[in-house]
Structure 1
Amino acid sequence: MNTPIERKTLTAAQRRVLLATPAGWIACGLGSGLAPVAQGTFGSLAAILPWLLLRELPLPFYLLAIVLGFALGVWACERAGRALGVDDHRALVWDEFVGQWIALLPALLAPWWAVLAGFALFRLFDVWKPWPIRVFDRRLHGGLGVMVDDVAAGFCAAILLWFLLRAL
């Protein structure tokens, strides 16, 4: 299913295939992954909208939402990837949703600027992919592979954000 060269944008036929199923809608971040450029950034920005609701939950329910979102993402990204014929297309951004929610854990009880910092740190780790994120990105495939590297990027961003908030 891996392709050496992958299109950055979806063709009209690929969009139709992706949007024909609930898994496709979920995997493309309810449409945010259909942006013509910077799909991951648009997915991460879109993830902040449901986060505004999730942050009101008690912490155990917030964490449960992350776990359920991860499981849903593995399923949806696996199905959508198969439908597109690739392991991980840029339009599949549900992983950004879950990774962003993890990155924003320290921002739950922090000033508003912590959300901006969490967003920026998550994007940094997601794009840069330092070790061990890069290892997950290269070795895992399918729905699990789509999700795990962004979860790792979210944890790295959350840890750095937590230290930043403690230092200030």
Structure 2
Amino acid sequence: MNERKVLTQTQRRALLSTPTGWLACGFGSGLAPVAQGTFGSLAAIGPWLLLRQGSLSLNLLVIVIGFAIGVWACDVAGRALGVDDHRSLVWDEFIGQWIALLPALLAPWWAVAAGFVLFRLFDVWKPWPIRYLDKHLKRGLGVMMDDVVAGIFAAIVLKLLLAYV
């Protein structure tokens, strides 16, 4: 199956019938007919608004645990779909977006919008080493790592933006 194909009804039902698939597809946000990564990143902002109320330590803990669970969930879901990194698997966008928004924890509202845009930019553009990771890492770790690095790049740029604006 080509990773660019839209899921069949059977595949959609299979993803949504298990907690693993439900998590891997970002609670259903990855099942959008287009721009799955963007919908996943947008859906990630809702839980992040709750996380924002917590400390940096709590946010980092949630990200680390979410990453570990995501490696497993995306691996299981990818094997079920027969594609390592199908575009409907967007839990990686959740984790990458949360990383990108770390500098926005105590920042004004516009920093959330900037963090979203920066993360999407790095996730789509895929400068080195993001593109390398995307092409060479496989299975659940491969799904997650390129978005983690995109999130780190976006967080660095957002931190610089916040420092100089």
The verdict on a shared fold, with TM-score over 0.5 as the criterion, is yes
1:74-129 superposed Cα distances (whole Å, 9 cap, x missing partner): 01000000000010101000000000000001111111000000000000000000
1:60 has 2:53 as partner? no
| One-letter amino acid of the structure 2 residue matched with residue 14 of structure 1 | Q
Percentage of matched positions with identical amino acids: 75
Q: Identify which of 125, 139, 145 aligns with 1:148.
A: 145
1:75 has 2:72 as partner? yes
TM-score in terms of structure 1 length: 0.96
Match of 1:91 in 2: 88
| One-letter amino acid of the structure 1 residue matched with residue 38 of structure 2 | T
CA drift of 1:40 comes to 0.2
CA drift of 1:12 comes to 0.6
Match of 2:160 in 1: 163
Paired with 1:56 and 1:101, the residues of 2 have a C-alpha distance of 13
Paired with 1:6 and 1:103, the residues of 2 have a C-alpha distance of 26
CA drift of 1:6 comes to 2.6
CA drift of 1:8 comes to 3.2
Paired with 1:149 and 1:105, the residues of 2 have a C-alpha distance of 17
- Coordinate RMSD, CA, aligned: 0.9
1:23-51 superposed Cα distances (whole Å, 9 cap, x missing partner): 10000000000000000000000000000
1:101 has 2:136 as partner? no
Match of 2:123 in 1: 126
Equivalent positions of 1:108-123 (< 5 A) are: 108-123=105-120
1:130-160 superposed Cα distances (whole Å, 9 cap, x missing partner): 0011111011000000000000000000000
Q: How many residues align?
A: 165
Paired with 2:130 and 2:70, the residues of 1 have a C-alpha distance of 18
